[in-house]
Structure 1
Amino acid sequence: MDLHTRIMKKNYREVPMWWFYVILVLNIALIMFISFYYNATVQLPWWGVLLACAIAVFFTPLIGVIVATTNQAPGLNVITEYVIGYIYPERPVANMCFKVYGYISMTQALTFIQDFKLGLYMKIPPRSMFMAQVVGTLVAVIVYTGTAWWLMVDIPHLCDKSLLPPDSEWTCPMDRVFFDASVIWGLVGPRRMFGDLGEYSAINWFFLVGAICPFFVWLATKAFPAHKWISKIHFPVILGATSMMPPAMAVNFTSWCIVAFVFGHFLFKYKREWWKKYNYVLSGGLDAGTAFMTILIFLSLGRKGIGLLWWGNADDSTNCSLASCPTAKGVMMHGCPVF
């Protein structure tokens, strides 16, 4: 109950909870109807719908806390694809539907919460914000569905790259992303990659590692109470950042750690008041500086075909001579190990 909340409660009526419950029940009922009567198309059974909804409900407050404190949102897209790929394999459309119901619904919920948070600071009436969200969602659904229907029905050979010129810049990136994900996680299935039929089953141990790492940070704060910086270590952010690798490489994360821990620890220890006052401004300045330098390098060098190649931005094949070696068993190549 901070100042903003007290002002809002004094001047505006809150949105009744039963409005949210009605929308929740109607949406789940609609999804269940689709899973029953259009099962041949969506492939997802009714229990898959309920499981996806349960995942969204369970993870929304947890991911919401991480977003509220760090502005970083770990994604559930791979987790949802992983879960349904194990339980209900060889069904690519069902895998994508489960991903949408379990992951996209959570991200939309967090987006709506962010809208209400913005409305709290901007003193927008909650009921007006709610109606704007509902109307905007309905308009978006109609426009998106109509556009997709028009593109897929009335335009032949959509995204057929064989009809494009050799050097064409026209692509369908999101089409490839969803198609590849449906094949990898739905048709092939995680069991053939990360299960008893695959080569990477040891990766599953990292689920346990990620679960216990925050516990070790908590133990360290109890063992060394004088070192306040230990409590600032946030493993969900550290581990979640690796989702950007690739295209980011190890040097991107080492430079990030150096700035965050060394520079940040120095400021927090010796310039604590300055740090508390300008921490977010500094973070925004670093992000803005990266964006400006990207544009500047592209305009000044990239358009002229000039590239900067050094150890900080070189690809793995430059930094590691073995990166181009084959990893299949029994394949022999000069200068490469044989597995």
Structure 2
Amino acid sequence: MTEKETSDVASTATSSGTSIRVFESISDSVLDFTADDVNAVVPTDDEDVPVLTLRMWVIAFFLGTVITGVDAFFTLRFPTVHIGPIVAQVLAYPLGKLWDMIVPSFQLTIPFTKYGFNLNPSPFNSKEHACVFIVTNIMSPINLVSMTVTEQFKFFKSEIGIGRMIIFNLSSFFISYCLSGLTLSVLVYPVECIWPGILNTCALFKAFHQPEDKHELDKSEDTQIKPTSWKIPPLAYFGWTFLGAFLWYWIPDLIMPFLSRIGAWISWCKPENATLSQIFGVHTGLGLFPLTFDWTQVTSINDPLTTPFWSIATVFASFVIWIWIVLPGLYYSNKWQTANFPIMTNLIYNKDKKPYNASKVVTSDWKLDMEKFEKYSPVVLPISFVMGLALGLGTFSAMMVSFILNFKSEVLDQLGKRHEDHHNLAAAKYKKTHWGFFVGVGVVGFGLGFAFCQGWDDAPIKSLAFFMAILIGSLLYVPLALIESRSNFLLSLSSFFDLVSAFWFKGEPLTLLYFYSFGFNTLQKSMHITMSAKVGHYMKVPPRSISIGIFGAVAWGSLLSPAVVGYALNHIEDVCQPNAKNGMNCRKARTQFNTHLVWGLFGSELFSVHGRYAWVLWFFLAGALAAIVVHIFKCYKPKSAWRYVNATLLFGGATNIPSVTGFNYSTWALVGFIFNFYIHRRHTMWWRKYNLVLSIGLDCGTAIAAIIIYFCVVYTGGSKNFKWWGTTIGKTGCDIRGCPHLNEQILVPSGY
């Protein structure tokens, strides 16, 4: 092609929707996903198939109930297990086909009405399958709710009843449903909002239901893109990938677990050497060596096969700058005495360098007892905890300033825009849900929330605080969702909610818990609902069917998760005790409880203007300035590489520490470079045909292997006596213990 021919790719939509976004050149387009990439994995529309069938509801609620119930139950256990909607997507297909074979085609009429339904109206189709996934995907994210119930009942020792917790959950879910429904024009219909994380889901739907559709798989309008020589059907490729991932995961997870964290091999050479463990360790170290043979470690940030390369590059740059350069500099210079603690840890410490036990400094009603506090210890924070908080504040300000600067183009212009890509043209044939329905559900959610706050004298949060938590979560929702819809990177703003509530509710940790839960919980649920709505949009499910399916999942999921956790807390002996049987010690909830206690008791002092860690507040300014600078460069050079620079990700990309470390980031970025840059650029048709099917095959095979290993081997005690060098090498030494750089006595800070 000539220079002129490569300088422009048409941006106007055609009826097939093959050219929607503008790219300067073919090599430039590989940094992001194009319309051709999306269309290649999305099934074509079949208008004449039923959607909300009895078969769909039965399969969806059966799988959703089982998966959500199991996930909720095992949030109390450490190590925990999470099944997730991917398993439901795989199991739904054979269940739907089994229904086709067994259940007769029989018409039933609802008594005293002219309406009825058929038990088996047609073969199990892609739209029913999509609705099963949507229902399960919305019901499954219950970790935050489960931990809130556990904290309230077992650690704050305030059993307000499961009924009230169901009201709390319904309120949050209904408000989330309202937010998602009212923002469809901004977050679902625009073609720029790809939501890359769901493309592998769509690819599996297409492999199941349209295995012979080669319209977008084997050809392209661009003559420079050569067809792939591979002829294996995507469904067969998924099957082989699934089988390989299933069989392989037994090795790094059970038989040779050292392969999972083999990036730490240098620290194993001298396990008692603190410096080697701090640099190359993967538990409490920086994880400098990029090697693992465990897919769960590679995807601990997100799935690199579904993440655009511009996002991968930005996130990895964020990690290198803040965690591999800035953080070690602060640590080894012993700023705030942090060199006396592990370089990577999410714990907080006392003056004796032991994990801080906040329950030792409170009264029976969870207020700070100064006499106990002076006898025990002030709070001392490790560098990774402080750095994570600072980056969280920078992320917030960068995100909000960027959103304000781009508000017209990303929100106002989208509200009145006619979207003419072929996904929206297909959806236009169906009636949409009226915005008034979403508002009505939101009003009910607010009513339930006010009832939770004002209906009882011992309410843990008052109505004004509830309203402000929802208001803040609502304001953050659209800018946060816009970032994930394009980058496939979910930013956590939990530290922002912690900080705001710490200053507002000084000395009230229980109120802080509910302010955090209402605000952050509503935000996360809205993201899941919107993502599910985009799945339905891609799968050409009628908008009203999507709304009904989501509402059913919202209502049932809100009842189910608090009920399961409440039952477990009241019927399992010694639950949430350190020595509880079968590991039901509620470790995650206990950690979150201690964190909320510290924030509620000391947060406003630690991070005040004269506090010990007041410097983190400068990151508010740093994030805002970075967003302004990046925006100026984008305006000045709109077609340069600056358009791929995201100021929010430059801060937020590294906020996953310390739960993930350097070897997670580096292997994730390496896999992303190989598949979403090199292969996407050099073997484009192979990428479109197999990359996302490979992604879902690896995820599904690994997930089902993990479930079987856990329930059949680990949980039953079958692996208790299986020990050899490969199972123990990664469980000893400084990397596990978190050896500090220095072993000096902590100089106790005055006051808080």
TM-score by length of structure 2 reads 0.36
Cα separation, partners in 2 of 1:136 and 1:285, compared to 1, 3 Å: closer
Match of 2:464 among 47, 51, 54: 47
- State the match for 1:78 in structure 2: 495
Aligned to 2:122: none
Pair 1:26-2:444 in alignment: yes
Identity %: 17
2:599 partner SS: helix
The question of 1:93 aligning with 2:510 is answered: yes
Q: CA deviation at 1:155?
A: 3.8
Q: Give how far 1:258 is off.
A: 7.8
Structure number with larger C-alpha Rg: 2
- Summarize the Cα distance change of 1:118–1:132 in structure 2 as closer, same or farther, 3 Å threshold: same
Please tell me whether residue 67 in structure 1 is matched to residue 484 in structure 2.
Answer: yes
Q: Distance in 1 between matches of 2:434 and 2:651?
A: 38
Could you tell me which residue of structure 1 aligns to residue 619 of structure 2? 206
Change (3 A) 1:15 1:277: farther
Aligned residues of 1:96 and 1:182 also touching (Cα < 8 A): yes
Paired letter, 2:424: T
Report how far residue 51 of structure 1 moved: 0.7
1:305 aligns with 2:725: yes
User: Deviation per CA, 1:157-197, whole angstroms, max 9, x where unpaired?
Assistant: 321124x47xx6443233224312321222x2421321246
Residue 18 of structure 1, CA deviation: 0.7
| Secondary structure, counterpart of 1:116 in structure 2 | helix
Q: Structure 1 residues 205 and 292, CA, compared in 2 at 3 Å: closer, same or farther?
A: farther
Q: Judging changes above 3 Å, is the alpha-carbon distance between structure 1 residues 260 and 140 closer, same or farther for their aligned structure 2 residues?
A: closer
Structure 1, unmatched stretches of 5+, are 332-339
Among 423, 436, 445, the alignment partner of 1:4 is 423
* Distance of aligned partners of 1:60 and 1:125 in 2 relative to their CA distance in 1, 3 Å threshold: same
Distance 1:14 1:92, change over 3 A: same
**Aligned-partner SS, 2:433:** coil
Aligned counterpart for 1:323 among listed residues 730, 734, 741: 741
Q: RMSD of the TM alignment (CA)? A: 4.0
Instruction: Provide closer, same or farther for how the CA distance between residues 112 and 80 of structure 1 changes in structure 2, counting only shifts above 3 A.
Output: same
Decide which structure has greater helix share. 1
Q: Matched residues in 1 for 2:699 and 2:728: separation? A: 16
Pairing partner for 2:590 from 152, 155, 176: 176
Aligned-pair CA distance for 1:272:
5.8
Q: Matches of 2:539 and 2:663 in 1, distance apart?
A: 40
User: Distance between the aligned counterparts of 2:660 and 2:689, measured in 1?
Assistant: 23
Of 28-37 and 53-62, the range deviating more from structure 2 = 28-37
CA distance in 2, matches of 1:69, 1:241: 14
Aligned partner (choices 629, 632, 641) of residue 219 of structure 1: 632
Per-residue deviation at 1:226? 7.0
Deviations 1:97-155 (A, max 9, x none): 11121111111111111111111111112222212222222222222232233223344
Tell me which amino acid in the other structure corresponds to 2:598. I
Distance in 2 (CA, whole Å) between partners of 1:3 and 1:47 is 45
Letter in 2 for 1:211: A
Which residue identity lines up with residue 108 of structure 1 in the other structure? K
TM-score by length of 1: 0.75
**Cα distance per residue 1:204-227 (max 9 Å; x no partner):** 111221222122223344566674
What is the aligned residue count? Answer: 313
The answer to whether residue 239 in structure 2 is matched with residue 239 in structure 1 is no
**Using the alignment, how far apart are the partners of 1:281 and 1:152 within structure 2?**
45
Q: How many Å separate the matches in 2 of 1:215 and 1:238?
A: 13
SS in 2 for 1:40: coil
1:148-297 correspondence runs (5 A): 148-162=565-579, 164=580, 169-186=583-600, 188-196=601-609, 198-221=611-634, 227-228=640-641, 230-250=642-662, 253=665, 278=687
1:334 corresponds to: none
Q: Is the 8 A contact 2:473 2:523 kept in 1?
A: yes
Q: 1:9 to 1:177 in 2, by over 3 A?
A: farther
